[in-house]
């Protein structure tokens, strides 16, 4: 073989090798993934993104404790004038992890006032849904 021929052969060999490798790894990456669960995921996300903040608040059970109009109940404080105390970022963090804010004076009072209830964490919820709720709470 001449030198150019060797180069061409080497190139071809490299291509074929890459091709085979690609096929081989593709097979590994394609497990028999449960299609219906994927579809379910998509559907539940679509479902919640169509909901208004008020609907999310009732879906997530906030109204069970805070009252149908978020006016406050014997179990939990009214959710009014929240923008006096919270920014968007901090309120979002609070909903995801209320425990982090327990040391603030306001929350010490809440604990005495509502000794049998605590604000549950919503860290497992879709961040976009929580963002929608936060925007709503800060403007009402």
Q: Map residue 103 onto helix, strand or coil.
A: coil
Which residue stretch of 19-27, 35-43, 44-52, 112-120 sits at the interface with ligand HEC (rule: CB under 6 A)? 112-120
From candidates 12, 41, 43, 120, binder to ligand HEC by CB under 6 A: 120
From candidates 88, 108, 111, 128, binder to ligand HEC by CB under 6 A: 111
Residue 49, token pair as written in the block: 């993104």
* CA–CA separation, 67 and 63 (whole Å): 5
Residue 6, token pair as written in the block: 């060797």
- By CB under 6 A, residue 87 contacts ligand HEC: no
Asked whether 125 and 62 are in contact (CB, 8 A), the reply is no
Q: Minimum distance between the CB of residue 86 and ligand HEC, rounded to whole angstroms?
A: 6
- By CB under 6 A, residue 93 contacts ligand HEC: no
- By CB under 6 A, residue 118 contacts ligand HEC: yes
3-state per-residue secondary structure call for 21-90: HHHHHHHHHCCCCCHHHHHHHHHHHHHHHCCCHHHHHHHCCHHHHHCCCCCCCCCCCCCCCHHHCCCHHH
The size of the interface with ligand HEC (CB under 6 A), counted in residues, is 25
Task: Give the binding site for ligand HEC (CB under 6 A).
Answer: 57, 60-62, 64-66, 75-77, 79, 82, 85, 95, 98, 107, 110-111, 114, 117-120, 122, 133
């Amino acid at each position: 073989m001449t030198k150019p021929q060797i180069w061409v052969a080497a190139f071809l060999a490299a291509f074929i090798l890459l091709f085979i490798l690609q096929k081989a790894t593709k097979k590994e990456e394609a497990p028999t993934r449960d299609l219906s669960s994927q579809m379910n995921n998509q559907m539940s996300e679509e479902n919640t993104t169509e909901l208004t903040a008020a609907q999310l608040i009732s879906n997530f059970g906030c109204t069970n404790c805070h009252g149908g109009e978020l006016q406050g109940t014997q179990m939990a404080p009214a959710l009014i004038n929240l923008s006096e105390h919270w920014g968007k970022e901090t309120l979002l963090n609070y909903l995801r992890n209320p425990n982090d804010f327990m040391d603030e004076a306001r929350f010490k009072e809440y604990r005495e006032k509502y000794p049998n209830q605590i604000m549950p964490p919503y860290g497992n919820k879709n961040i976009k849904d929580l963002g929608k709720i936060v925007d709503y709470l800060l403007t009402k």
